[in-house]
Chains A and B, each alone.
Chain A
Amino acid sequence: MERKETFRSRWGLVLTSLGAAIGTGNIWRFPKETAANGGGSFLLPWIIFLFIWSIPILMVEFAVGKKTRRGTVGAFMAFLGRKKGWMGAFMAFVSSAIGFYYAVVMGWVLRYVYVALRGDVRPGVDTESLWFSFLTSPLQVIFFQILAILITTVIVMKGIEKGIERINLFLIPALFLIMIFLAIRAVTLPGASRGIVYLFTPRGEQLGEASTWISALAQSAWSCSAGMGMALTYGVYMRRKEDTTLNAVLTGLGNNSASLIVGIAVFSTVFALSPTPAAADAALQEGGTGLTFIYLTALFATMPFGSLVAFFFFLATAFAALTSMLSTYELAVRNFMDFGLSRKRAVLYMSAATFLLGLPSAAVVLNMGGRPVPVILENQDHVWGLALLLTGLMLYLLLRSYGVRRFRENFINSRWSDIRVGRWFDVLFNYVVPVEIAVLFVWYFYQTLTGPSENWWVSGPIGLALMLIQWAGVIVLLRYLVNRYSHKIDLSDVDVNLPLDEEDRHPVRLYGGYEVHYKDLKEV
C-alpha cells in the first residue's frame, strides 16, 4: 500500500501551520494598520475577530483537509460534487499566484539579509536609493527571485516530513526567538515607551468608528490566511489521531502573538529613533516595503550594533517569507498529486511556473510619480490578495451546503479533539460569519468605488476592473480544465457522510476498492 505522508508530530503540524499564517503581512501590514487605526482601539477588535473569524475558519479548513485527505480540488469535489471542483482549483490558483510574486518578495528580503550581513546598514547610508537602485536592476531582483525559488523547491521536493515539517520545526522557533530579541532590543531604546504607549492606548472615539472594526476584521482575515486553503492542505497530512480544534486555536493565537511581538519591536524602534512624531508617522503610514527597506533600515543604521539588528530583522523576515512560500507551494503540489502526478514532477512544474510567471513581477518596474514601482507585482498582490473574499465565500458555501451543525458534529468534534466545540459554532457560522463576509465585500467595493477614480478602472495597478477580469478569466479557464480532467481524481475512499469517528470504527473502502479498517492503518 502506498505509504501516506503525514506530519511526524503535532508540533510539526502546528509550527508548519503557523509558518503559513505568519508572513511578511505580520511585519509589513500589521504595524501600518495598527498605527492608522489608533493602536489599542484597533487591537481590541482585532482580537475579537481572531475568535469569531480566523480561528473558526481554520477549524473548518483543518477538518475538511483531515476528512477528505485531498487538496482543495478534491475536497470541494468530495463535498459539493465533481462539478464544483473548480472552486478548489480557484483556491489553488490564488495561492499559487501569490506564490509567483511572493518569490520575488522573498528575494528582496534575501537581498537585504545579504546587505545587512555585508555591513551596509551603517550611519549615513541613503536607504532610499539603496532600495530603489536594487528594485530597478532586474538582473539582481531575478537573481534573488531564483535563489528564493531554489530554496523552496529543495524543501518542498523532500516532502512533508523530511522537508516542510523539519524546516518549520527549526524556522518558526528561530523566528520567534529573533523577534523576541529584537523586541527586547527595541524596548530598551530610550524613547521606546512612546511607541509602546502609542501601540496599546485605546482611543475611545476610534473604537466607535466602523472603519476601525472593518480594518481589524480585514487584518485578522488576511494575516492568518484563514480561508485561503493553506490550513486545509496541511490538514491533509494530519495524523489520524490529530486534533483539529486546539490546533486551529494554537495557529490563530500563535500568529497574533507574533504580530504583537513584531508590533512592539517596530513601534519601539520607529518611535525611539525617529526625530519627530511626523517622521514616525510617515514611516508607519508607509507600511510595506517602504517601512521595512527604507525607514526601518535607516533607523537600524542609527542604533548601536544596527547592522547586526538589521541582519536579524531581515533574517526573521526571510524566515517568515519562506515558511509562507512553502505553504503556497504545497497547496498547489498537493492538488497536482491528487491529479496523479508525482511530488517531484509537481514541484518542478510549480518551480518553472513560479519563475516564469513571477518574472513580470520581478522585472517590470515603472516610474510612477518619481518613484520606481513594481506595478505588476502590486497588481498581482492586489488581485490575488483580495481573492480571499472569494475563496472564503467558497469555503463558507461548502460548510453551509453540508450543514453547519452536521459538519461540527461529524468532523470538528471527534474523539481526538482536545476541545469540544459547542453550539456557538453553529450560531457563529449561521449568522455572524455571513455578515462578516458581506461586510468585507461591501466595504471593499464601497472603498474602491468612492476612492480616487483610477482605482476602479483598468488604468491603475490596483484597479477594480483589472481584478475582476483576472478573476473571471481564471475561473472560466479553471472550470474547463477541472471538468476536463476531473476523472483523474480518485475519491473512492472519501465518504463525507461518514463522521470522522465512524471512520475509526468502521471499515471503509480504501485505495481502489480494497476495504481496510482504519485501525489497521499504521501511523507513519
Chain B
Amino acid sequence: MKTTLVLFQTVLLTLLVGISSTPLTLSAPQSEEEEFDHYWSYLEMSDVLKRWCTEHGDIAKLVSIGRTYEGRELWAVKISDYPELEDDGGLEEEPDVLIMGAHHGNEWISYMVPLYLIHFLLHNYGSPGVNGTVATYLVDHREIWFVPMVNPDGVEYSRQTDRGWRKNREPNYLSQRGPSGEFEPDLVPFSYGTDLNRNYPWHWGELGGSDPYLSRSPTYPGPPDNKDDDGDALIPLDLWDKKTPLGPEDGVDEDPVDGIDNDGDGMVDEDPNGGFSTRETRAIRDLVEANSFTLSLSYHSYSELVIYPWGWTEEPTEDDLTFRKLAEYIAQPMGYRAIQGYDLYQTDGDSDDWLYGVHHVFAFTVELARSYRPPEEEIESISAVNLGGFIRAVSYAHNPYQIHLNMSIESRMVEDRVKVILKVENDRYPIPLPENPFVLHWVEGNARGEVPMVADGTYYAAEIPWGGGEVTLWIDGKDLEGNPLIYPLVGEDGGGIAVVEPSSISAWPEVHFTLSTVVAMLLILGTVWGGFTISLRHAVRMEREKSQM
C-alpha cells in the first residue's frame, strides 16, 4: 500500500492520558507555604482559603454559605474566570460543578483532597505546561464550586475530642409532654449530631432510625419533619403515643421527596417527611438551588470506590449506563472501583441521591483511600492521584452524556497533504449530531486555516496542506442544539473526552522506500559491509597461504 497510515497523536492527548492514568507524575502544586503534609484545622483552612481567594481574586471567590451550630462559617469557593458573574455575565455558558468534602467529621482526608484540588486550579491557572493547560481550561470554561468542609464542627470535634466523630455537633433533645400537654424539649441534650449524609430528603428515613431515641446512632438521619408543609392539615402519626393524625383517617399526610405525588394533590414532593434538619445540609441545598450543577463529586473516606446513585434502592437509575461509564472513567486513574451505592450498603438521604433525584446532577461519591485518616505523608500522594479523577469528571460537566461519544483522531499523508480523520462512535447519545458538525483548525508555522470536516461514510474527514513541519490541529464541534461537542481533553482509546482547544498534533511524515533510498542503502551497506566481508575473506585466504609457506 502506498500510503502508510500514520497515527496522529496529540501531544496534549498523550500528556493528558498520561496525567489521568499516572497522576503522580503531575508535579505537585508548588506549595511554598501550603503544606499538604498534615491535616489542617478548620482555622488553618479558613486562613488559607482567605489568602488564596485574595491572591487569586480574579478566578476565585470565597463565600460563606451558612453557619454551623457552633458558629463556624461554611466556606464555599467558587472558581471560574469572572467568579463574580454567573456564566461570565452571559458571555459564555459555563457548566457548574459541585465538589464537596468532609460530610463526616472523622474522614479527614476527604477535606484535604478538595483543598488540594483548589490549590491545583489556582496555582496552575495561566501557567505553561500541562498542568497550566488543564487548570486554565477548567477555570475558564467551568464554574466549580468547592465546599471543602461541609461539617467543620464534626471535623473539629474529631480533631480535638473524639477521633471517630462522624456527625455534626448539633444537640438532639428528647421531647416530653410538658405541663401544658404540649411536647417540650428536655433541658439536657439526649445526644449530639446528625449524619449529614443521611439528612438529604430523597427517600429520607426509609430505613428508619429517625426516632430521637435512636439519635445516638452514628448514622442518625435527623428528626422527622412533622410539620404540615403543604397546608393540607395532615401531619404524621404522633411518634410518641401513636395517636392518629389530626386529619381524616384515610388521608396521606406527607408527600416525601421521591419524585412521586404521594398524597395525590397534584403537587410533587411538597411536604417532606424529613431531611434538611441541619444548617449544613440546608446551606448545601441553597447553594444547589442557586446554581445549576450538572455534576458533583462528594469526597468521603474510605474504600477506594467511586459510587453513583441509587443508594436507597437496588434499582438502577435511568442514566445507569451513563453513570457507570462515567464512574469507571473517573475511577480509572486512581485504580478505584466503580459501584452503585446500594451495592455497597443501602443508604437513605445521602447527597448523591438527592442531587440526582431532585436536580438531575450527575453526582458521585468518591470513597478515598484505605482508612479514614491515612498517614499524613500520604495526603499529598492520595490527593495527586485523585487529581486525575477530578479532571476527568469536571471535563465532562458540560454534558455527561458525551461519555458515550468515542472519538479518535488519526491522519494519513496524501503526498503533500494531511488527511485528518475523526471517528465518532456513539453508543448511547441522546442528542443526534448534525450532518457536518466539525471544523478543523490548523496552524503550521505562519500558515493557518480552517476546513469543515465532511461526513465521509462512518467518519468525518478533512484535508490540509502539509509543508513538512509540525502541525497544530484542533477541532470544533457543535451538536444540534449548538452545544460544544468536544472538549480539550482527549481520553484514552475510545475513552471520550475530546478535543477542541488548540492542541499540538505533529505528524510523523509518511515514509516510503523510494528508489533513491533503496539504491543509496544498497550502495552504502554494500560498500561497507560487503567490502568488509570481501576483505575478511581475502585475509583468511592469504593467512592460509602464509601458514603453508
Q: Interface residues, chain A, CB within 8 Å of chain B?
A: 10, 14, 40, 43-44, 47, 50, 124, 191, 193-194, 196-198, 200-202, 241, 243, 246-247, 249-250, 253-254, 256-257, 260, 275-278, 416, 418-419
Contacts and interface: CB of A to CB of B under 8 A. Distances in A.
Given A256-B532, A260-B524, 17 more contacts: A40-B517, A44-B520, A193-B513, A194-B508, A200-B517, A200-B521, A201-B514, A201-B517, A202-B516, A202-B520, A250-B532, A253-B531, A254-B532, A257-B532, A276-B11, A276-B506, A276-B508
B516 A201 contact: yes
A243 B538 CA distance: 12
B536 interface: yes
Contacts of A254: 532
11 contacts: A10-B539, A40-B516, A43-B524, A124-B22, A194-B511, A200-B524, A201-B514, A253-B532, A275-B9, A416-B546, A418-B538
Interface in B426-482: 470
Nearest to A239: B546
Nearest to A260: B528
A40 B527 CA distance: 13
Nearest to B546: A241
A419 B531 CA distance: 14
Interface SS of chain B:
helix
B523 A10 contact: no
Contacts of B538: 246, 418-419
A257 B514 CA distance: 23
B524 A47 contact: yes
A275 B17 CA distance: 14
Please give me the 3 A-B residue pairs with the lowest Cβ-Cβ distance, nearest first.
A253-B532, A200-B521, A40-B520
Interface of B: 9, 11, 14, 22, 25, 470, 506-509, 511-514, 516-517, 520-521, 523-525, 527-529, 531-532, 535-536, 538-539, 542-543, 546
Contacts of A419: 538
A276 B539 contact: no
Contacts of B523: 44
Contacts of B516: 40, 201-202
Nearest to B8: A276
B538 to A, nearest CB: 6
A243 B542 contact: yes
A397 to B, nearest CB: 29
B508 to A, nearest CB: 6
Nearest to B532: A253
Contact of A43 (B509, B520, B536): B520
B520 A201 contact: yes
A193 B22 contact: no
Nearest to B7: A191
Nearest to B24: A124
Given A194-B508, A197-B513, A253-B535, A278 B470 contact: yes
A275 B543 CA distance: 50
A435 B178 CA distance: 118
Nearest to B22: A124
Nearest to B468: A277
B520 A277 contact: no
A191 B508 contact: yes
B412 to A, nearest CB: 14
B25 A124 contact: yes
Contacts of A198: 511
A43 B529 CA distance: 13
A175 B401 CA distance: 58
A277 B506 contact: yes
B511 A193 contact: yes
Given A44-B523, A194-B511, A275-B11, A260 B529 contact: yes
Given A276-B11, A418-B538, A256 B520 contact: no
A197 B531 contact: no
Contact of B520 (A200, A249, A260, A416): A200
Contacts of A249: 531, 535
Given A250-B535, A275-B9, A277-B470, A47 B528 contact: yes
B227 to A, nearest CB: 59
B521 A40 contact: yes
A193 B507 CA distance: 15
Contacts of B508: 191, 194, 276-277
